Amino acid sequence: MPQQVTMGAMLQCSFGLAPSSLVVLPVNRVMAEGPPAANIMDHQPMVNIMPFGMCSSPANPTVAAATAAALGVLTPMPCIPATLTPWVTGAPTVLLANMPSLDNVSKCMCNWGGVVTIVNPATVKTMIP
């Protein structure tokens, strides 16, 4: 059964080299087991989703430039998330601030081809039907 995601949840990008944590601002005024609960609109780069260390996506312009400079050898560069679309699908039957609640099976797409997944939702008891 899916779990509610809150501030401090651990995230991983398929092209990132390190995990990151989700930052949820308390604007929705809903708490779950202490920290603020997230909805699908908590996807803003450098606000909600922090960098994943180094990026190895060839679609990332900085990685492509560094790889070209290294004569085709894939050269990871610092990650700057480009998550411009909301998380999908969320929990459509549970609304937080009139948006679907974020559950631990949701995914967020990065413009550079990475898929951001939730490794640890930071909740233990709050399940979403």
**Cβ(115)–Cβ(85) below 8 Å:** no
Does residue 128 form part of some domain? no
Does residue 127 form part of some domain? no
Report pLDDT digits (tens) over 66-95.
Answer: 999 999 999 999 999 999 999 998 999 999
Q: How many domains does the chain have?
A: 1
pTM: 0.90
User: What is the C-alpha separation between 2 and 51, in angstroms, rounded?
Assistant: 25
Q: What is the pLDDT of residue 129?
A: 62
Q: Cβ–Cβ contacts within 10 Å for residue 67, how many? A: 18
Rounded to the nearest integer, the mean pLDDT of the chain is 93
Does residue 57 form part of some domain? yes
Strand order in the sheet with 115-120: 20-21, 10-13, 115-120, 107-109
Q: How many contiguous H segments (helices) and E segments (strands) does the chain have?
A: 1, 8
Does residue 47 form part of some domain? yes
The residue segments making up the domain with residue 64 are 1-122
Does residue 15 form part of some domain? yes
Does residue 23 form part of some domain? yes
Does residue 129 form part of some domain? no
Does residue 88 form part of some domain? yes
Q: What is the pLDDT of residue 127?
A: 63
- Sort 19 into a burial class: Cβ within 10 Å, 0-12 / 13-18 / 19+: middle
If you average pLDDT over residues 57-67, what whole number do you get?
97
Q: What is the dihedral of CA 61, 65, 70, 71, to 10 degrees?
A: 100
